[in-house]
Chain A
Amino acid sequence: MREQEYLKNVVTLKLDQKKCTGCRRCVEVCPHNVFDIKNKKAKIVDKNACMECGACEKNCPAKAIEVKAGVGCAAAMVTGFLRGTAPTCDCSGDSGSCCS
């Protein structure tokens, strides 16, 4: 079992197997081994481990993957909410707490 487990059944990850060509890119880029290739098609094997980083969607040449990517940072969401913008990480200044 993974050491860390976050909230279940919340992620926005979707895979359209019909479009998939089985190129393996999603398997290569996912930092949480969410995908596997079965019968020459990608398969989501561990959906709850997805952190919605967006790497798979961005690197799928067949556009078979959809995920609402973003930064999972509470401070960023508060700032985004207050400013009415999308959540952003403040990593440009000297105080970026989201990014090390």
Chain B
Amino acid sequence: MENIKRVSTELTFQDKFQSTLVRWGVGRMVHKIDPGIYAVNNPTKDSPVFVSANYKLSFDALRKELKGIDAFIMVIDTKGINVWCAAGKGTFGTDEIVNRIEKTKLKEIVSHRKIILPQLGAPGTSAHELQKKSGFQVVYGPVRASDIPAFLKVGMKVTPQMREVTFNLSDRIHLIPMELVAAAKYVLVVIFAFYMISILTGKTDAGVRAAINVLLAYFAGAVLGPIMLPRLPGKSFSMKGFFVGLIVVGASCSFNWIGRGPAEIFSWMLMMPAISSMILMNFTGASTYASPSGVQKEMRIAVPLQLAAIGFGLFLWLIERLFGV
């Protein structure tokens, strides 16, 4: 056991700071954990072995919950991607785990033949194949690392609650930074384009209104939408995004930012809900309950409508710019 790296169960200020950066999409790839075996507290040959992705947030979430528990963590190479996503891509997969067991000589480190995989890795791993190829029996642990102490206490049993993936307010709020970052560059380009056209057609104030309205729609789709998700009408994300867009249309109207002439006003009433609908539709990917078949179905209906609304809105807006209707 001497040459096994040891990790603490305490997260330092630096760990937390790095996690924040990762959430905002900064330097994700820098924060990889080296694959291999890590010791937590004082494990013996009988201690449990947890398998983790080499994504920093996954690894930290796990070790933080192992306070006072003697265990090993086997970090596999998922290219710095979290368990859920890596499982979908197959990098958190049977073969990588089998290879890692060989490479780390896990059979010499522990005397038992059992490994604990995160349940969220299951779309990428096949428990029976893994056992056939490696000799290790697979136990799927709870979805949330915070349930690990309870899971160990009852002899590695998972309750239905521990198995269920939630998508509660705090889960959704944590995803907001990613949503903001993902859409930011498009939003900037769009605002810049509206602004330039406004300047060229001699009305800077229309450009300022455009910037405000686009930003409001962006805020609706990327911040308000995720927060209010279960409260918004409709089942599809695009529908919910449309309604949250109406809220900011209301806000824009009440502050008199929506436009001057009827053409401009109507153009924003069309474009704002369409933009927020598009942005919130993208949230299906981050959500933990949208099925691909469902997303496909809603997109087939929503995308043409969104494009039509934006196209017609843009047409009206340009008419107003050029002919001052």
Contacts and interface: CB of A to CB of B under 8 A. Distances in A.
B155 interface: no
B124 A91 contact: no
A91 B81 CA distance: 7
B123 A91 contact: no
Chain B interface size range: 35 or more
Given A59-B127, A95-B181, A31 B85 contact: no
B296 interface: yes
Interface in A68-100: 68-77, 87-89, 91-92, 94-100
B231 to A, nearest CB: 10
Chain A interface size range: 35 or more
Interface of B: 23, 25-29, 79, 81-82, 84-89, 119-120, 122-128, 140, 143, 158, 160, 163-168, 174-175, 178-179, 181-183, 229-230, 235-237, 281-282, 284-299
Contacts of A95: 25, 181-182
Contact of B167 (A4, A11, A55, A97): A4
Contacts of A58: 122-126
Contacts of A71: 88, 285, 292
Contacts of B163: 28, 30-31, 33
B164 A28 contact: no
Contacts of A98: 85, 285-286
The secondary structure that dominates the A interface is loop
Given A58-B125, A59-B125, A11 B286 contact: no
Contacts, number: 169
Interface string A25-69: 100111111000000000000000111111100110100000011
B122 A55 contact: yes
Contacts of A8: 235
Given A6-B294, A10-B294, A30-B163, A74 B26 contact: no
A79 to B, nearest CB: 11
A76 B295 CA distance: 11
A94 B25 CA distance: 5
